[in-house]
A and B are shown apart, each in its own frame.
Chain A
């Protein structure tokens, strides 16, 4: 019986391993956030790197929290995320080495066109959130440890703490589902501009608050510490990191468009 179970487990794994690229040295595992994958950025820029280096990049698109957890366990070679406090803690704990700024995009506060709480045109993210709380508006929060979640909490702290009110809904879902929930409930939501653009055809939500320095969203790439995990492809990860921050990589990021919109700004000269 036990042997049967073992066989049932081993055979599919072996088959899957054969089907996958056997040469681990030619593969870089990039753990990153859903925003870079869903927006189409990585699909647009990575082929150039793959052609140039002969490496294949496997993108694992998850939330910032999970991406860092994967790096911590050595399940990824390079992480590309956006939550500076978590990134610094990751490096300080010795899980990662060589953090580099790669690019930035921005957060916006979106809401129903009628804007019952009257935040349209505000530029200060923290002040806008405080006004939403005071008005008792419905607000959909990510609450999933993602970079957006981390930023939202930072904005609340900057505004003197988050009051608790019945309209504050913690969805614990990705950005896309949260936008759908906010749209259905005619609620407000903090989102990265890229995901909102990708969903805009299906939503009534409009950008109401934008442009503040507080709403800038920088992305950093960190090498997973090869001293901790002998099996990580440090060489490949270093090559990808070097390319992302090179003039060629930065130009590719700057050239990426969704429709006519620029989504990500390269760090250099941005």
Chain B
């Protein structure tokens, strides 16, 4: 009798009782109810309550009782406790009993998958015939053994490898950029001889985008720069009664350095970023691949109009920017000092020699070439997703701006050596 009593004694191993089900106001209520197929009649009478489960052992059969409402919104979906399966259980199979099961959704399936995996790991047979057919269907899709996911396989490289890697990359990039530059120059020469396969329409569009449509922003920024220079200059020079030299200060600073740099930075952000974004999107849409398959050289089709239009328009924009900056200085000076307008212009014309403009003009041309080349290269190198387009645009602007400042320093040294 004792053994029989033992045999049928339910060993209550584990019981979880959930708290009240809380519904999120954001969710429309249908989701709670629609996913469940009509429940068996006995389930409908199940008392409302949170999810609960317990394991009983009957001889060689383990019975898993599941009951209550399994609603993932309530956040109390229990975890299937595994300890009792590990202790060398004499059971051979595990039967799921769903007599007290109420409503259920994905949370229940998630729990059942836990059960399926752990029961399989303990080498028991799972009898899920009592489950609602819908739940059985879903459970049958899930594997017995979940694949181990490698958390993060991207190991950081050691320091020296990183440095070496970066050095090699930089060298390679320099080579590629030079190659692209040479191709562009060749393309330009061909275009001059009328043999280029560049589409004139593309060139016209790019020239419009890199020139006239940038007039407003280049004008505003340079006007303000000139005004600020004049304002600061006036305050300092007034102490030496040398206010009139503000005209020289604004003229020389803008013609030689500031307008060229500011215009280049504006164009790096405006046009360089646009080139990188456009080309990397073309990359993502396989448009570049299509060009290559047709044998249409990327250099003449995309790079040439882009770089050419920037190189042609930027020096013009620079001259325009310088004149606007001088105008900005003039406006501020007229409101703050008592020189005549004609006096200011005469001082400017006498103070700023033509070679300052030539220096700025040449710089603007090289800046343009640099921006065009690097932004196109960044676009061509980009990955193929939307995120990569963003990265490419950012990178093009950063490389453009840093490069312009660095190039300007080199130009300053060259000018000093040549005494220009």
Do A and B make up one complex? Answer: no
A residues at B contact (CB < 8 Å) = none
User: Residues of B with Cβ closer than 8 Å to A?
Assistant: none
